[in-house]
């Protein structure tokens, strides 16, 4: 009983975590006088509106300015946010959340259940035109699809304020991981009064009203974001960091240089630099698993090339690419070679055994690939020509170049196509590609966030892999007591059919200043909160 | 406002009647800087054309022996055949520099040719016909001058993907307007000459007069301008490559190599910047020196 | 002179219109709209987005609405990507930054470039001359995207004296200005030097010297002004190239300037910001060319408009 178990554990976790909430400074630690934290943003924040934001970086900022029903701790477990706890009806379809009455907006108003109702309706409302409106559908909130499509008024959405501090959400199918989904920034409450008074401008520094542990004091687009400790936050007495600053640096190498010069407390390590930095700064270079998988999606649909409709060709392509070279020689940051789709560190998930992943070495795989190519009718005198499309990034470029060289060895000539993100995406959505670089970051810590993607009705299945058996397995998993065996079946189908070529599972490869504590160590989503952090004296 | 943007090149480089070419040649040969420039250019061109034969690797092969430890093993070495070291992926930098030099030279030269052909024909036509036509054509140039072409080029490359054709043509089309103004000015002064008058009197058609009688007499101006244009084209290409909008991998250009090398300058792989930058600078020096030399040679006023 | 300015302004208007139309059509003919998202948007959401930004209107109406917004209200519309900002706000934030380091770079390039060029010309064939020529040739061919990371490496990482990027005060201006001005300074020095050399051998300088005027006076009063003419005609193209260079500065020094905003808007299909910046830059180019022309006429009285 997956669902029950999860509820039980989260209930316990919640009560236990209650006191430990906010920065847990161990005894005997001397705090530094300077409690500020400066982190890196690759690009300007596109929007500070929780219902409009679509980016991971935007979410990092939003989690500090707003607070949803639940937060995550350093291990990715749920801890109370605005909600203290919740109960679920026996059919698993009705969630009732008890909100704390001490939660306040930064203008002093109380945070009430109505603020959540307003925010969720706003997310689903076609008038808001949020690119993340589908998240309401993903959460299976009652009537979400109809509301998003504009067929039903927003007040029909399955969320109701029973009173100021009791929130009821109705969903259409039992979702074991529903509470996990509430950590997502698009579910955060927003202040109705401020939005109505200021329109789209409400997120400017000085105007923005939030309920998070920090308030926005400065936002120079493309330069920096400064957030100061919010004294009206319900647990503000436990907040140690007084200021969070995000610096936008458009070049990763430049960001690292500035980190080394002491201007930043955290920065991503560019591909290939981790081993050197680990040796030089063992206390600062870190690598932790990160909930994303990197693949080449194959176009097996009608508009795709004839060759890719042959499963032998697809397997040959997958076998020929040496993943160890990619992770150990190119990225070098503790990423893991991937022979399946779901990220290896996803909770409770275990990859099914497969021949190519567990029994063969790379030389054997290449042999097999060559054999498969010949069986499929290709050979030295009849090479296969394919286009490999990737979006602009140094890392994608390097991997694509390496892959094209590896595929050359089995007689596949790859033409590289580099496009900007928007065009890359557009071409994929129009099935205008042969092989395309793709990565998916799980929205929550459960295997279905990956596996749902490859169903025929998924909005992301751009390669048009339509497989009835796969659809059935995934449909069954929604109601199964223990979905894990079904997830394994789904993975096995993917291995046999190979509509996607898994390459590697992501890791967060960072330099983190040695005196910064409280960043999550064991959270695959890398959900971090400024309120949990502190800086120790050297 | 006629004269404002016709720079001194134009006004000075009018070839005089008496055997100007022999004089110019003599002056050019005597110019040490120009000779050095010419020598550099010949050397760079030879490197671009024949360098491939000396390379022990292709420009796209990965050397798995050094891959992953570029800073330690990927440096310049005769032992493993990477004379210039390798790039971040273990590809031979010598072969890549050779191929990058080819692209950069091609972009520069073709871009300059496009600019010269379009600019010369346009300017000569405007200047030859004069009057209303001239007015309209030159006002159009004035208008087009205000278009931020770099932006338009970036847009084109973003929209339609990286394409060598767009790159070559786009870079060439950025610079034809300046050329057209210079040529127009020259044409205005040429069209009153006796031989043009004579041709017109005998009923030669206007396009023929422009092509047969006007353009050849502008050769000096065009040559100077074109030579000085090539390095600007190469610089433009390098900027486009810096933005990641240059030629498609596994092809490369000097600009792309430099931009990659500059990015990783702090990681102990300085050869990745050094070698391409050396060839880049040599090429530009060469063109600048030769261009200056040509201008001096074709401009008797200075002596 | 007055009619000349009027004439130029009359040209400016069709120019800007042309710019708007070209960039508008380019944007709209391209694959991938501003709302291409990783997950295809539900039709209703897409329809709403399109309606919100007027993209559901016929093209001619979009252009006329857009132009009218600019003419009547000086309103460039909302950004398609930075959804809580308008184009006016984005330009209002980024443009003063670009303008600040741009103008300083311009001043630095002109002042130092001209001084260096004049000094080299006066001491023709001296060591100073050779150094000046060598340095300026070197600086001219070194792309600023090579110089920028080297500057950060030296001044931020090794010496630790300057912030590696950002825009908070005058110490943040130094590296952008060095990166942006150096190659222009070099070009100006070379141009000044060769034109100064030419002027110094001309008849009217010989006359001035023959009259026994002190050398300093000869240079400053008689030689400098004519020698500056080619420098001034170089300023127009230099200005355009500087705008291009600001993209590199913005990327490496995170100034939050307008150059990066343009590149981003092109990559993100942010029609509104892209057009806003293009129009702004076009208008600036026109304005600047005009200023250069006037300056030229002022220095060289032979020019009649």
B254 vs C contacts (CB less than 8 Å): none
Ranges of beta strands (E only) in B25-89 are none
What's the CATH code of the domain at B79? 1.10.3720.10
pLDDT tens, A249-282? Answer: 988 899 999 999 999 999 999 988 999 999 999 9
Domain spans of chain A, in order of start: 2-245+513-535, 289-508
A2-245+513-535 and A289-508, same CATH topology: no
Cα A223–Cα C151–Cα A279 angle in degrees, nearest 5: 85
Question: Strands A500-512 and A285-298, how do they pair?
Answer: antiparallel
Cα A296–Cα C40–Cα A343 angle in degrees, nearest 5: 40
Residue B19 — very low, low, confident or very high, per pLDDT cuts 50/70/90?
low
Token pair of B104 as six digits: 């950069």
- Rounded CA gap, C85 and B133, in Å? 46
For the cut 90, the answer to whether the pLDDT of residue B74 exceeds it is: no
Cβ contact B159–C26 (<8 Å): yes
- Rounded CA gap, A393 and A149, in Å? 35
Domain assignment present for B145: yes
- Backbone Cα Rg of chain B: 22
pLDDT tens, A4-19? Answer: 333 333 443 444 344 4
Q: What is the pLDDT of residue A13?
A: 40
Q: What is the pLDDT of residue A7?
A: 37
* Percent share of chain C, pLDDT over 90: 23
Token pair of A370 as six digits: 């060559």
Q: What is the pLDDT of residue C32?
A: 65
- Which residue in the block uniquely carries the two structure tokens 């054309």? B49
Across chain A, mean pLDDT equals 89
- Rounded CA gap, C215 and C224, in Å? 12
CA nearest to A456, candidates A484, A490, A423 = A490
- List the 247-266 stretch of C: residues with Cβ below 8 A of B: 247-248, 262-263, 266
Distances (CA, A) of A516 to A76, A153, A166, B76: 19, 47, 37, 40
- Rounded CA gap, A135 and C239, in Å? 48
Rounded mean pLDDT, A214-232:
93
- Residue A40 distance to chain C (closest CA, Å): 12
- Rounded CA gap, A230 and A212, in Å? 7
- List the 268-297 stretch of C: residues with Cβ below 8 A of A: 268-269
Q: What is the pLDDT of residue B8?
A: 41
| B243 touching chain A per CB within 8 A | no
C129 vs B contacts (CB less than 8 Å): none
A71 vs C213, residue with greater confidence: A71
B32 vs A226, residue with greater confidence: A226
Helix crossing, B149-160 with B164-174: angle to 10°? Answer: 170
Domain assignment present for B289: yes
* Percent share of chain C, pLDDT over 70: 96
B61 vs A contacts (CB less than 8 Å): 405
Residue B296 — very low, low, confident or very high, per pLDDT cuts 50/70/90?
confident
- Rounded CA gap, A57 and A31, in Å? 28
pTM reported for the whole predicted model? 0.88
Question: Which letter does DSSP use for residue A331 in this model?
Answer: I
User: Side-chain half-sphere of A255: how many Cα atoms within 13 Å?
Assistant: 24
- Convert C151-174 to b/e letters by CB count within 10 Å (16 or more is b): bbbebbbeeeebbbbbbeeeebbb
CA nearest to A148, candidates C38, C53, C33, C49 = C49
Q: What CATH class is the domain A2-245+513-535?
A: alpha beta
Token pair of B221 as six digits: 């101006």
Q: What CATH class is the domain A289-508?
A: alpha beta
Which DSSP string corresponds to A298-312?
A: E--STTS-GGGGSHH
Domain assignment present for B94: yes
Q: What is the pLDDT of residue B16?
A: 44
Sequence-separated (6 or more) residues with CB below 8 Å from residue C73 = none
- Rounded CA gap, A165 and A97, in Å? 8
For the cut 50, the answer to whether the pLDDT of residue C44 exceeds it is: yes
pLDDT tens, A445-461? Answer: 889 889 999 999 887 88
Rounded mean pLDDT, A307-321:
94
Token pair of C30 as six digits: 């391209």
**By residue range, what is the domain housing residue B199?**
21-61+69-302
Sequence-separated (6 or more) residues with CB below 8 Å from residue B14 = B186, B189, B220, B221
Tell how far CA A214 is from the center of its chain: 23
- Rounded CA gap, C247 and B218, in Å? 37
CA nearest to A511, candidates A245, A280, A259, A250 = A259
Q: What's the start-to-end Cα distance of chain C, in Å?
A: 6
- Rounded CA gap, A226 and A249, in Å? 15
pLDDT tens, C110-164? Answer: 999 999 999 888 888 888 888 888 888 888 888 889 999 999 999 999 998 999 8
Of C27, C146, C289, which is closest to B262 when you measure between CB atoms? C146
- Residue A404 distance to chain B (closest CA, Å): 10
Q: Please count the structural domains in chain B.
A: 1
- List the 161-180 stretch of C: residues with Cβ below 8 A of A: 163-167
- Rounded CA gap, A398 and A204, in Å? 39
Domain assignment present for B10: no
- Rounded CA gap, C247 and C213, in Å? 48
Sequence-separated (6 or more) residues with CB below 8 Å from residue C91 = C76, C258, C261, C276, C277, C280
Domain assignment present for B9: no
- Residue C51 distance to chain A (closest CA, Å): 10
* Percent share of chain B, pLDDT over 70: 92
Residue B18 — very low, low, confident or very high, per pLDDT cuts 50/70/90?
low
Q: What is the pLDDT of residue A1?
A: 27
For the cut 70, the answer to whether the pLDDT of residue A2 exceeds it is: no
pLDDT tens, B80-111? Answer: 888 898 988 889 999 999 999 999 999 999 99
**Signed CA dihedral, B290, B295, B297, B302: sign only:** negative
Token pair of A89 as six digits: 């009806």
């Amino acid at each position: 009983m997956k669902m029950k178990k999860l509820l039980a554990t989260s209930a316990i976790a919640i009560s236990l975590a209650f006191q430990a909430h906010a920065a847990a400074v161990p005894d005997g630690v001397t705090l530094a006088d300077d409690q500020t934290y400066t982190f890196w943003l690759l690009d300007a924040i596109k929007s500070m509106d929780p219902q409009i934001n679509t980016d991971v970086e935007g979410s990092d900022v939003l989690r500090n300015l707003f607070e949803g029903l639940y937060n995550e701790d350093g291990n990715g477990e749920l801890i109370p946010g605005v909600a203290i706890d919740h109960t679920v009806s026996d059919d698993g379809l009705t969630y009732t959340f008890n909100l704390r009455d001490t939660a306040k907006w930064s203008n002093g108003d109380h945070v009430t259940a109505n603020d959540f109702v307003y925010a969720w309706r706003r997310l689903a409302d076609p008038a808001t035109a949020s690119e993340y409106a589908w998240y309401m559908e993903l959460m299976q909130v009652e009537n979400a699809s109809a509301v998003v499509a504009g067929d039903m008024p927003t007040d029909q959405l399955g969320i109701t304020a029973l009173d100021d501090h009791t929130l009821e959400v109705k969903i259409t199918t039992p979702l074991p991981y529903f509470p996990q989904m509430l950590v997502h920034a698009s579910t955060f409450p927003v202040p109705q009064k401020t939005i109505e008074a200021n329109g789209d401008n409400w997120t400017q520094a000085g105007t923005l009203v939030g309920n998070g542990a920090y308030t926005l004091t400065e936002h120079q687009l493309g330069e920096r974001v400064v957030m100061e400790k919010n004294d009206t936050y319900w647990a503000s007495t436990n907040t140690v960091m007084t200021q969070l600053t995000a610096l936008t640096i458009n070049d990763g190498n430049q960001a690292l240089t500035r980190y080394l010069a002491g201007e930043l407390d955290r920065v991503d390590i560019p591909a290939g630099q981790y081993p050197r930095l680990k040796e030089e700064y063992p206390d600062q270079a870190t690598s932790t698993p990160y909930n994303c998988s990197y693949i080449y999606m194959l176009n097996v649909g009608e508009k795709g090339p004839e060759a890719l409709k042959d499963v032998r060709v697809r397997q040959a392509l997958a076998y020929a690419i040496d993943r160890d070279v990619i992770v150990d020689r190119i990225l070098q940051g503790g990423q893991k070679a991937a022979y399946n789709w779901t990220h290896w560190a996803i909770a409770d998930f275990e990859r099914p055994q497969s021949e190519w992943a567990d029994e063969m070495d790379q030389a054997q795989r290449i042999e097999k690939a060559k054999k498969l190519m010949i069986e499929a009718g290709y050979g030295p005198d009849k090479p296969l020509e394919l286009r490999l499309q990737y979006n602009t990034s140094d890392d994608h470029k390097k991997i694509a170049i390496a892959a094209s060289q590896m595929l050359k060895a089995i007689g596949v000539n790859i033409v590289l196509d580099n496009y900007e993100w928007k065009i890359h995406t557009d071409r994929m959505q129009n099935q205008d590609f042969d092989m395309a670089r793709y990565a998916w970051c799980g929205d929550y810590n459960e295997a279905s966030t990956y596996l749902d993607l490859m169903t025929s009705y998924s909005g992301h299945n751009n390669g048009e892999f339509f497989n009835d058996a796969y659809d059935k397995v995934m449909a069954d998993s929604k109601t199964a007591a223990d979905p894990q065996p079904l997830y394994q079946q789904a993975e096995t189908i993917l291995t046999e059919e190979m509509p996607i070529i898994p390459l590697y599972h992501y890791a967060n490869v960072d330099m983190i200043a040695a005196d910064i504590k409280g960043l999550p160590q064991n959270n695959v989503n890398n959900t971090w909160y400024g309120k949990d952090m502190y800086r120790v004296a050297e | 406002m006629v004269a404002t943007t016709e720079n001194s090149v134009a006004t000075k480089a009018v070839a005089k009647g008496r055997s100007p070419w022999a004089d110019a040649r003599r002056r050019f040969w005597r110019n040490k800087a120009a000779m050095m420039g010419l020598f550099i250019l010949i050397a760079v061109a030879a490197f671009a054309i024949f360098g491939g034969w000396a390379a022990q690797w292709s420009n796209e092969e990965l050397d798995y022996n050094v891959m992953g430890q570029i800073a330690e093993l990927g440096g310049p070495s005769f032992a493993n055949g990477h004379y210039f070291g390798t790039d971040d992926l273990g590809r031979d930098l010598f072969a890549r520099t050779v191929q990058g030099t080819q692209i950069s030279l091609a972009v520069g030269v073709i871009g300059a040719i496009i600019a010269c052909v379009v600019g010369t024909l346009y300017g000569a036509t405007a200047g030859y016909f004069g009057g209303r036509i001239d007015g309209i054509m030159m006002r159009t140039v004035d208008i087009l001058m205000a278009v931020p072409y770099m932006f338009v080029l970036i847009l084109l490359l973003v929209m339609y993907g990286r394409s060598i054709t767009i790159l070559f043509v786009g870079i060439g089309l950025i610079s034809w307007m300046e050329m057209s103004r210079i040529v127009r000015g020259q044409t205005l002064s040429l069209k009153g000459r006796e031989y043009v008058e004579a041709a017109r009197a005998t009923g030669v058609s206007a396009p023929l007069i422009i092509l047969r009688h006007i353009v050849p007499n502008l050769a000096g101006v065009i040559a100077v301008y074109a030579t000085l244009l090539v390095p600007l084209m190469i610089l433009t290409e390098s900027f486009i490559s810096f933005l990641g909008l240059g030629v498609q991998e596994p092809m490369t250009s000097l600009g792309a190599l430099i931009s990659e090398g500059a990015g990783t300058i702090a990681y102990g792989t300085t050869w990745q910047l050094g070698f391409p930058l050396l060839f880049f600078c040599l090429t530009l020096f060469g063109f600048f020196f030769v261009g200056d030399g040509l201008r001096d040679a074709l401009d008797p006023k200075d002596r | 002179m007055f009619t000349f300015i009027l004439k130029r302004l009359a040209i400016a208007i069709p120019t800007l219109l042309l710019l708007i139309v070209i960039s508008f059509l380019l944007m709209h003919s391209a694959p991938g709209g501003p709302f291409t998202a990783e997950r295809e948007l539900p039709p209703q959401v897409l329809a709403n987005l399109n309606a919100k930004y007027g993209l559901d209107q016929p093209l001619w109406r979009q252009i006329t609405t857009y132009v009218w917004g600019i003419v009547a209200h000086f309103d460039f519309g909302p950004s398609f990507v930075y959804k809580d900002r308008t184009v006016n706000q984005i330009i209002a934030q980024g443009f003063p930054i670009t303008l600040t380091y741009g103008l300083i770079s311009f001043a630095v390039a002109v002042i130092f470039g001209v001084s260096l060029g004049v000094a080299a010309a006066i001491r023709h064939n001296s060591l100073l001359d050779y150094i000046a020529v060598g340095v300026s040739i070197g600086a001219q061919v070194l792309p600023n995207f090579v110089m920028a990371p080297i500057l950060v490496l030296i001044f931020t990482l090794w010496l630790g004296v300057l912030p590696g990027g950002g825009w908070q005060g005058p110490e943040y201006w130094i590296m952008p200005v060095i990166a942006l001005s150096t190659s222009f300074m070099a070009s100006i020095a070379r141009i000044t030097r060769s034109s100064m050399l030419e002027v110094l051998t001309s008849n009217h300088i010989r006359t001035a010297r023959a009259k026994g005027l002190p050398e300093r006076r000869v240079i400053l009063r008689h030689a400098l002004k004519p020698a500056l003419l080619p420098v001034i005609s170089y300023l127009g193209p230099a200005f355009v190239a500087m705008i291009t260079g600001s993209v590199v500065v913005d990327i490496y020094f995170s100034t939050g300037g307008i150059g990066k905003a343009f590149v981003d808007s092109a990559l993100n299909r942010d029609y509104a910001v892209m057009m806003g910046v293009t129009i702004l830059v076009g208008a600036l180019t026109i304005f600047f060319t005009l200023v250069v022309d006037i300056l030229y006429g002022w220095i060289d009285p032979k020019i009649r408009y």
